[in-house]
Amino acid sequence: MTDLTPIIQMTDVSRIFGDFRALDRVSLSVLPGERVVVCGPSGSGKSTLIRCLNRLESHDSGTIIVDGIELGEDTRDIRAVRQEVGMVFQQFNLFPHLTVLENLTLGPIRVRRMSRSAAEELARNYLDRVHIPEQADKFPAQLSGGQQQRVAIARSLCMEPRIMLFDEPTSALDPEMINEVLDVMVELAGTGMTMICVTHEMGFARKVAHKMVFMEAGRIAEIAPPEAFFSNPSSARARLFLDQILEH
């Protein structure tokens, strides 16, 4: 983290659905290589926050600058940002009609304009990294949830993004599969990737996060390093939230 210009800069960002403020003047900056874990009660705007970063959700006011590009109406800018920002979804969202390998190469071939052979080499490389090289020719439905989510991570990585967004990547998994996905994410953290993770896996957060962001009612209630956040959260709401999810 020698480079001190933020790779993500959100300033006073609001997102309004009808009369519901999903995001209420949120400001957040993320440095290259920084790992941010976003947590908070459901409906607090965590997902909306990270979905604004690759404009799956558009913001109504404020500015978002990602990798030097301001997100606005320009579709070309938006696509440029999306190529630099990978996203992993709660429901995996693999393409069911394509094999694992085809899922991974679709982006590189069609968006990056790589040759098929180069894309396949890249894809096999990333399948290795998520520890499922042997599943390349299967269809997503033939894999377990944990394997599917690892394929989804590999699919995002194949675009060689500078930033990875995770939207509750383990929430849809059976308990015994959560760790295989978290392990891959920890390994990814080791490579210096900029990561923003919405998750309730506090063990993971403690291990990899540089920064904890606690959200409530569309606002960022607290930003703190994990040690401080877990031992002594400054806001009462964060303390209550931690008590609830760490109870058992």
| Residue ranges binding another protein (CB under 8 A) | 54, 56, 79-80, 82-83, 85-87, 89, 91, 93-97, 106-107, 110-111, 139, 141, 152, 155-156, 159
- Minimum CB distance to another protein smaller for 193 or for 202: 193
Q: Could you tell me the smallest distance in angstroms from the CB atom of residue 211 to another protein?
A: 23
- Minimum CB distance to another protein smaller for 129 or for 219: 129
Q: What amino acid occupies position 41?
A: P
- Give the pair of three-digit tokens for residue 163: 């930033």
- Minimum CB distance to another protein smaller for 91 or for 234: 91
Q: Could you tell me the smallest distance in angstroms from the CB atom of residue 242 to another protein?
A: 30
Could you tell me how far CA 161 lies from the centroid of its own chain?
11
- Residue 194 near residue 30, CB atoms below 8 Å: yes
Q: What amino acid occupies position 204?
A: F
CA atoms within 13 A on the CB side of 77: 13
- Minimum CB distance to another protein smaller for 165 or for 182: 165
Q: Could you tell me the smallest distance in angstroms from the CB atom of residue 109 to another protein?
A: 9
- Minimum CB distance to another protein smaller for 53 or for 224: 53
Q: Could you tell me the smallest distance in angstroms from the CB atom of residue 161 to another protein?
A: 9
- Minimum CB distance to another protein smaller for 27 or for 115: 115
CA atoms within 13 A on the CB side of 51: 16
Pairing of strands 69-70, 35-39: unpaired
SS3 145: helix
Q: Could you tell me the smallest distance in angstroms from the CB atom of residue 142 to another protein?
A: 11
Q: What angle do CA 162, 167, 168 make, to 5 degrees?
A: 135
**Among candidates 158, 161, 114, which has minimal Cα distance to 136?**
158
Q: Could you tell me the smallest distance in angstroms from the CB atom of residue 87 to another protein?
A: 4
